[in-house]
Structure 1
Amino acid sequence: MRLCLCVRVTLFIGVGHETTGASAYSSDEIRGLLDWLQEDPANRHAIIDATSLLGAMPWPPVLVAGVLARCCLFMPLQKAIGGVAGYYVASFTPEALEAIGRNLARPSWAIARQLSLSVPKDLAHPLTGGRTLATGPFYDPAQDQMLGGVINTYSLLAFAETTYGLSCLAQSIGPASALNARSRANLALVEDWVGREPLFSLAVGRAEKRGTAVTLLCVNDPDIAPLHGTILARAKQLLGHQGLTHPDGQHEPGLRAALYVNAFPGMAGDFRAWIGGVRPAEDIHALLENLRHAWLRAKALVIAEELAARGEDAPALAALPGLQRLAREVEDLAALLGGLRDGADLARHRDALTAGLQGLAERLATVAPD
């Protein structure tokens, strides 16, 4: 008689921050996951894609600590060598490493050498001498050292560049916990701004599901619904380098304020922006104001183009060309004032503000409706 003991291993595989749609797991969902893992840690494992979680974990610190301790995390070194290129950093729970070690003796299927976490015990007998995790490509946080080497030269370079960048952030801002706190504060800033700005709303309706690495904004302007896509495209031109060319031939230079704010096709939302813990709050506020400014400027342009295509003039612009220029000067001054961060900024721009206000006063004295 043969006895077969079958052990069922259950995996949960998820994405910590789904940046395409700007959503994340809620605190209740994370709490439920941690409780589920704790019930059978040897046979229950969670594998989380943490690509955009570093410095942007939206949960309370106690849940963040639980995720780091009980979940296996992996993240590609996206920005280190120009692309993902198949190189990842992964963290494993002790239970997951034990399961990997057991699988070495009788692997369930062939494992590509590039993905192998084990190395030969005896380099003189790489195929028959057995394999071990003890000197694999692991960093041991308890010992604060690498147990073995990295898989290849490219991953070494990527790892070195990534860790250098993280050390710079730690010196300038603080540890990952400080970045997490800043990311939550930045999301609160966005939510407060949107709550006061009827033109915008957040694509993720449930507050507890919003991520803190990325925000996704919708423009609510039903009066020009047929022109929505055209205005959005022109607004992004103004936000970047291209700028806008008005029907009268005048060119409005690009703001260079947001070069990549595209929402993914098919996703709800018009502007998608990174707001994680690296960015200071004043930059987030300036970005939001620029989004609003760009939309209104693009809307005026597209309406003027539609009227011109029908052979009609935009009354305010055609009848009062001087006021058209005045409006732009007022907007320029407003943008400058909105970008001032402190008293030092005000002092540096005092001359420009004074000259601008004097010019406006002179024009207002000479420009009047017919």
Structure 2
Amino acid sequence: MDNQPVMPPAKPSRRPQRPYFSSGPCVKRPGWTPDALKGAFLGRSHRAAEGRARLHEVIMRSASLLGMPEGWQLGIVPASDTGAVEMILWAIAGQRGVDVLSFESFSGTWAQDLRDVLALDDLRVLEAPYGSLPDMTQIDWSRDVVLTWNGTTSGVCIPSVEAVPAQHEGLVICDATSAAFAMDLPWERLDVVTWSWQKALGGEAAHGMVALSPRAVQRLEEGSQRPLPKIFRLTNKKGLNEAIFRGDTINTPSMLCVEDALDSLRWAESIGGLEALKARARKNLALVEAWVAQRDWVAFLSATKETRSCTSICLKITAPWFEALDDAQRSAAIKKMTSLLEAEQAGYDLAGYRDAPAGLRIWGGATVEAEDIEALLPWLDWAYGCVAEEAMRA
């Protein structure tokens, strides 16, 4: 290559105390140890009174912490956020025309399912490449709208609560899995909201949550156009299966995971609730923003600051030598960087999502300490310098 040689910086001496930056499952809350699970309701039926009570406590604490409006229903469902989204799509989608936003891996999956699996007759897919949002002015809010509030694999989020109109004829179905407990959600403008415990709360996997507005409940009670497997059924012959929203789960939950979720929720309450959670995430993003602003080799994948995520912080390498590589070579270079960081125990799980453009991804949600972000950033400089120097010599 013709580029000038790059000298890697000296290896940093300070490492993050908790070098865990995975975007799911995410790092546990500060101070967490297995002792937090000592009181778990184990070896008993989840349908026993105390089991139901603990499941109901997760529901009530979550609703309160998020500021969920009066009259909404919140339940614990199988299969993480994916299960929560799918059960709603299968139960509701197709009763009227649907617009779906597709701009990264998971939002693309919802679009693919609606188009290729459910094969909706009246479907519009509004697409954008990684780093951008579709043109939201093209959304027809008289139709049902499926949107992902924060693209976990692209670091692109809906820019403001005003992006969704206060009045709309269709239902707004919002996948909020890496936005809940970290960003403002306009509950009064949404109808279905889903998330999991494994993102902003640092909980364990396999359990999802689905929140339903009164309008969404009414639509569910009108009946699905298609037969549904048991784990997708939120209604029964009487209408909404209200027991699910009091703690009677559709299938057997892990009470160990339930205890962990309760621990996360109590921690969130203890530090000041939702406002404190959002502030911690914003601080983590601000640290990365200041660092990126002083570097000429890295930039945010998000095309605009307004759509920049404070949880799944996705970065791209902009150095000419890197941009000259093909996709396989770029992926190999990122793998070298992340392998160096892992070998030094300076940062784990920092590669971008497998379907995304080759780059870096730092989870910045509230369970991540700002001090660990600060300690990580010089290591990114070091790992980049090592890989860039090797590339220049090639």
The answer to whether TM tops 0.5 is yes
Give the Cα–Cα distance (whole angstroms) in 2 for the partners of residues 289 and 109 of structure 1. 54
Give the Cα–Cα distance (whole angstroms) in 2 for the partners of residues 263 and 71 of structure 1. 31
Query: Does structure 2 retain, via aligned residues, the 8 Å contact 1:203–1:269?
Result: no
What is the one-letter code of the residue matched to 1:137? Answer: I
Query: Please, which moves more after superposition, 92-101 or 293-302?
Result: 293-302
- Greater fraction helix: 1
Deviation of 1:132 (Å): 4.1
Deviation of 1:83 (Å): 4.5
Task: Say whether residues 1:235 and 2:333 are aligned partners.
Answer: no
The match for 1:191 is: 289
- CA deviation map 1:323-356 (0-9, x unaligned): xxxxxxxxxxxxxxxxxxxxxxxxxxxxxxxxxx
Q: 1:73 aligns with which of 182, 193, 199?
A: 193
The match for 2:105 is: none
The match for 1:56 is: 182
Q: 1:272 aligns with which of 342, 361, 382?
A: 361
Query: Does structure 2 retain, via aligned residues, the 8 Å contact 1:230–1:302?
Result: no
Task: Say whether residues 1:168 and 2:267 are aligned partners.
Answer: yes
The structure-2 alpha-carbon separation of the partners of 1:71 and 1:159, relative to structure 1 and needing over 3 Å to count, comes to farther
Moved over 6 A (4+): 6-9, 79-82
Equivalences, count: 250
Task: Say whether residues 1:22 and 2:155 are aligned partners.
Answer: yes
With normalisation by structure 2, the TM-score equals 0.55
The match for 1:131 is: 238
Which protein shows a greater Rg?
1
The match for 1:112 is: 229
Query: Does structure 1 retain, via aligned residues, the 8 Å contact 2:96–2:143?
Result: no
What is the one-letter code of the residue matched to 2:149? Answer: G
The match for 1:313 is: none
The match for 1:210 is: 308
The match for 1:340 is: none
- CA deviation map 1:216-241 (0-9, x unaligned): 11223325745866543322221002
Q: 1:90 aligns with which of 179, 189, 210?
A: 210
Of all paired residues, the percent bearing the same amino acid is: 24
Aligned-pair RMSD on alpha carbons?
3.1
Tell me the secondary structure at the aligned position of residue 356 of structure 2.
coil
Deviation of 1:165 (Å): 2.4
Structure 2, unpaired ranges of 5+ = 1-94, 98-141
Query: Does structure 2 retain, via aligned residues, the 8 Å contact 1:34–1:70?
Result: no
Query: Does structure 1 retain, via aligned residues, the 8 Å contact 2:234–2:244?
Result: yes
Give the Cα–Cα distance (whole angstroms) in 1 for the partners of residues 189 and 162 of structure 2. 13
The structure-2 alpha-carbon separation of the partners of 1:170 and 1:257, relative to structure 1 and needing over 3 Å to count, comes to farther
Structure 1, unpaired ranges of 5+ = 1-5, 120-129, 139-145, 242-254, 307-370
With normalisation by structure 1, the TM-score equals 0.59
Deviation of 1:168 (Å): 2.7
